[in-house]
Structure 1
């Protein structure tokens, strides 16, 4: 029974909108208690939760009715609480946790809030700097031309009021070829022309037909559902059986003894913990970046043959070491196995079971841990969830947004025609998945220290989206959405816009407002890196009262791709 007062269906079937507005810091405290109680293994004692101090402006700084900023604050508060428990096991008193709700509102925009020697994110990408420094893992895979760029967008279908998210992943040529289109069509000169060209094909098919074609060829694609429609699917019902923050001890590892935390001069909670990150794009790398700030030794493993998005390296590589390995080579595979031998944590965000087929799955790592008699934490990240018939299906944040109903809700909030869907304003599901991946790692390390054993966690992008649509969380009423829009004057957001479009729209709105929330100096940290002498990125999203030596921080700034 929900205790938070809401009204139904303001933003379509299955939506719950607040009756009264609660300022962001107070709302974050309320929602913190809700998720603390729902999370297995989390200390939900109100006195313990009171260690988190939320401060910030009353109004959200993000557009639309979805409370992404509140959930971002909650996730960071829970990370701080788990880090406090781990620190206590080392005999370190951290004090309370300070969460600035304006700063955590910026957190989903991390990848766009960067400056190198006076250049902003857009100028950096145009400068050629990323291609000159380190391995070029991108080669213009998405940004090369308008057809590639608009192969990540929401389109109408043959059916009235039904939209479909196409997403060519990191293979626009292969994806577009399936639909008889050329990724490098020289006749298409603008993003608008590209959208119309692709639209001329999508409107020949129903959403079900488009989805079948994507599944048949192994590509991403998702019908834009309402929240109610998602909950009624078999996949929605499968995911609903699992908590958003989902971890547990692996059965059969109970006899592995507790693993004491490493003794180091570094007072951060994860100092001396070794993490191997096997992931691309945003969600998995966001976990690794956050764990590095908590003191972990994070080794990111890259393949020279797998494309990635180059511009992410200037933010999501902070504090990491990088090694380039080609797993088709026996020597490189042996090197990875050697790295894994003494790893405490593995974070993997490739398609479910793909690493299992390479002998690097959960069961393989559990066996390794048994042989060395020291438990391991294995974190799986995917789109749709740990089980059900979509679990091995590829998917990115945009796919999760359209499956869960978040994109549908935005379209309704912006006054568009029924079924017209618009992505959330930032890579919110990605970055919140990164936060939850960090949280479950801390909880598992805590339990390994106290109880022993190995631990498995699963974090699903759709789960983070559906959490924002729960009745107990609630949505902002239209008058609050209008107030935020009036304050920041965000440019219109529409189905054709992909993440980079939306990042630019949101950052422009923040910079145009007199408060200039995204330009507060205290929200950034600066390094001298291989990219430039003054490399500024968004600071960690929370800190301990006990000071800098116990709080999250990076020992060095972002490093280039390829291990240079």
Structure 2
């Protein structure tokens, strides 16, 4: 391809005229992705003509019939995001991953200009970039494990699948019902926690205006609402309050009795997960913000010495035609709940790891999140405070390769299972341990150690204010879907894969860390969409979405966003993007989102359908393979 330095000269574009789908072509001179060429450049019929040798000539001359500026390209933005995350991560991405990262091809069923979410953030681009790094790590591991295979493997990352990954739990179904269907509760085997089952208590985790007009605070009762409600002068239970707006009004009236400073003092005293909603520019001036601006999105460091680890003997493929699984035989203990931590384990299971999700019988989880989040795993309940539970856990730990920690910072240390403690426990067994911790704020800066969730990170870093301003409001609104959770899960998976590579090549035990705030910082540093792009997105989506206010719940925000996206972007809900199978654990057919990633020569996908928490015995044996899932 070539072009003159004259901006009015034609651009020669190579294209495949015999393909049914769009082919994306990169033109180095102008740094433009061209797809569905006439549509992407708003060309009139006379502005593009076919020439010999499968080339097209596009007329970029101004004037009547000339091409107008191309709309924003998500594909081009995704490529820039890949380069940006490489710079931010620095040496956290091993140099051996680079040749594989160069092999990434981005695919889409559209023209590459569609922005899927009613948000000002480059969420799809950020996820495509992270999934590209994840896939390059997998390809590098495959080169180690299967040296007779292809030296560099072709990698594809699908834009639509990357977008659905960010709202997986809203797309997953059980018995044909989604998260917000009223009848879905009857299909969930786990008992709903009181905090998630009762609307009044659920709204103890919400954003409200404070005593100072224009200042907002996100209180968060986590999965035990009583402390937060009592903290602001409300009863733990109000059976008389059942209507959505009435619950919000009652709670907000009580929050408005306090300033941000007073709420912070009470929140700290009660050790609750609450924060003020501040803007990005304010966040960057905080001690925590300045710290995270100089911290990579994820970090992996060596914490113990041991020899390099040979790969475990991998089980035979399920069928003669099955491709190998790069993490087959790798054992992962997942000590996590809700979304971000389980998303790490789910990703490792996609690449073939044996993942056991260990939950506590005395801690609540959200049952519907298990439909998507437990895919590919085994699940067991263990009380790590009891001698019997600890003995069973330590038996699992004796041969584990990876431990995932998604609890409040320090919780596992107090139980004797923190990273340095596990290095001591696994000394002399012949292989190091990998410990990956994800939390809300990270382990640096003055917010380290505080509890938090996705909404808390989004309010603290400035996402909520940016979302509200995008919606035409002078107030914050928590963005739709747990996108920060899933993005953090992807970064945690990258940390685990990197540590596995380091352990195999250098030996040792390794600690990986990431956080919801680190994902949000990466996302915001990518920049918001330009004003004209934001205006296009606003015009596309339902008016009802833009009628939301700061105190609308995450379920209300997500529900309206999903309804609008189904109308505007039906391609996101195409059957090609989901997989269906019968779940023995749930006793129903379930559906979940397919992986955004394909890696040449490897099978990426699950070996078994999801199941509720606590479904299996705590053992590394008895790993069934469900052919309906493998072949789906």
- Note the C-alpha offset of 1:241: 3.3
TM-score between both structures, scaled by the size of structure 1: 0.90
TM-score between both structures, scaled by the size of structure 2: 0.81
1:61 to 2:119 alignment: no
1:223 to 2:276 alignment: yes
Q: Which residue of 2 aligns with 1:239?
A: 292
1:260 to 2:310 alignment: yes
Alpha-carbon distance in 2 for matches of 1:533, 1:403: 39
Q: Which residue of 1 aligns with 2:47?
A: none
1:552 to 2:607 alignment: no
* CA deviation string 1:303-359 (max 9, x = no partner): 110011111111100011111111221011111111111110000011111110110
1:34 to 2:84 alignment: yes
- Note the C-alpha offset of 1:55: 2.2
Q: CA RMSD in A?
A: 2.0
Counterpart mapping for 1:457-476 below 5 A:
457-470=512-525, 473-476=526-529
Alpha-carbon distance in 1 for matches of 2:176, 2:485: 27
Q: Which residue of 2 aligns with 1:435?
A: 490
Q: Is the alpha carbon distance of 1:204 and 1:124 closer, same or farther for their aligned partners in structure 2, counting shifts above 3 Å? A: closer
Match of 2:556 among 495, 501, 508: 501
Alpha-carbon distance in 2 for matches of 1:178, 1:213: 7
Q: Is the 8 A contact 1:268 1:295 kept in 2?
A: yes
Q: Which residue of 2 aligns with 1:104?
A: 162
- Per mean C-alpha deviation after superposition, the further-off stretch among 441-450 and 185-194 is 185-194
Match of 2:451 among 360, 381, 394: 394
Q: Which residue of 1 aligns with 2:365?
A: 308
Alpha-carbon distance in 2 for matches of 1:54, 1:102: 10
Match of 1:90 among 131, 145, 149: 145
Alpha-carbon distance in 1 for matches of 2:551, 2:442: 27
Tell me the secondary structure at the aligned position of residue 427 of structure 2. Answer: helix
Alpha-carbon distance in 1 for matches of 2:139, 2:99: 14
- Note the C-alpha offset of 1:184: 2.2
1:147 to 2:200 alignment: yes
Q: Which residue of 2 aligns with 1:49?
A: 101
Alpha-carbon distance in 1 for matches of 2:337, 2:399: 23
Match of 2:180 among 122, 130, 133: 122
- Note the C-alpha offset of 1:63: 1.4
Tell me the secondary structure at the aligned position of residue 208 of structure 1. Answer: helix
- Note the C-alpha offset of 1:532: 4.1
Tell me the secondary structure at the aligned position of residue 228 of structure 1. Answer: helix
Alpha-carbon distance in 2 for matches of 1:413, 1:118: 33
Counterpart mapping for 1:64-213 below 5 A:
64-91=119-146, 92-93=149-150, 95-123=153-181, 126-130=184-188, 133=189, 135-136=190-191, 138-144=192-198, 146-213=199-266
Q: Is the 8 A contact 1:82 1:443 kept in 2?
A: yes
Q: Is the 8 A contact 2:279 2:462 kept in 1?
A: yes
- Note the C-alpha offset of 1:511: 1.7
Alpha-carbon distance in 1 for matches of 2:281, 2:340: 26
Q: Is the alpha carbon distance of 1:477 and 1:175 closer, same or farther for their aligned partners in structure 2, counting shifts above 3 Å? A: same
1:447 to 2:497 alignment: no
Q: Is the 8 A contact 1:65 1:478 kept in 2?
A: no
Alpha-carbon distance in 2 for matches of 1:409, 1:463: 17
* CA deviation string 1:367-414 (max 9, x = no partner): 123231311110011111113332111100111001101111111111
Q: Is the alpha carbon distance of 1:189 and 1:41 closer, same or farther for their aligned partners in structure 2, counting shifts above 3 Å? A: closer
- Note the C-alpha offset of 1:292: 0.6
Counterpart mapping for 1:260-409 below 5 A:
260-264=310-314, 265-266=316-317, 267-409=324-466
Match of 2:267 among 208, 214, 221: 214
Q: Is the 8 A contact 2:367 2:612 kept in 1?
A: no
* CA deviation string 1:132-155 (max 9, x = no partner): x3x42x3342232x3112212111
* CA deviation string 1:168-189 (max 9, x = no partner): 1011122201211123213323
* CA deviation string 1:221-268 (max 9, x = no partner): 111111121111112223333211211112xx24x1100122313412
Alpha-carbon distance in 2 for matches of 1:69, 1:127: 31
- Note the C-alpha offset of 1:533: 4.4
Residues matched between the structures, number: 531
Alpha-carbon distance in 2 for matches of 1:274, 1:81: 21
* CA deviation string 1:418-449 (max 9, x = no partner): xx111111111111010001111111101110
Alpha-carbon distance in 2 for matches of 1:499, 1:347: 26
- Note the C-alpha offset of 1:58: 1.2
- Note the C-alpha offset of 1:28: 0.9
Alpha-carbon distance in 1 for matches of 2:444, 2:185: 44
Q: Which residue of 2 aligns with 1:489?
A: 542
- Per mean C-alpha deviation after superposition, the further-off stretch among 293-302 and 168-177 is 168-177
Bigger relative contact order (CA 8 A; separation at least 6): 1
Alpha-carbon distance in 2 for matches of 1:125, 1:211: 38
Alpha-carbon distance in 1 for matches of 2:280, 2:390: 43
Q: Is the 8 A contact 2:292 2:521 kept in 1?
A: no
- Per mean C-alpha deviation after superposition, the further-off stretch among 203-212 and 528-537 is 528-537
Tell me the secondary structure at the aligned position of residue 456 of structure 1. Answer: strand
Q: Is the 8 A contact 1:507 1:518 kept in 2?
A: no
Q: Is the 8 A contact 1:21 1:476 kept in 2?
A: no
Q: Is the 8 A contact 2:94 2:498 kept in 1?
A: no
Alpha-carbon distance in 1 for matches of 2:538, 2:313: 50
Q: Which sections of structure 2, spanning at least 5 residues, go unmatched?
A: 1-30, 32-68, 318-323, 617-632
- Note the C-alpha offset of 1:510: 2.1
Q: Is the 8 A contact 2:100 2:153 kept in 1?
A: no
Tell me the secondary structure at the aligned position of residue 494 of structure 2. Answer: helix
Q: Is the 8 A contact 1:116 1:532 kept in 2?
A: no
- Note the C-alpha offset of 1:127: 4.4
1:511 to 2:591 alignment: no
Tell me the secondary structure at the aligned position of residue 536 of structure 1. Answer: strand
Q: Is the alpha carbon distance of 1:369 and 1:327 closer, same or farther for their aligned partners in structure 2, counting shifts above 3 Å? A: closer
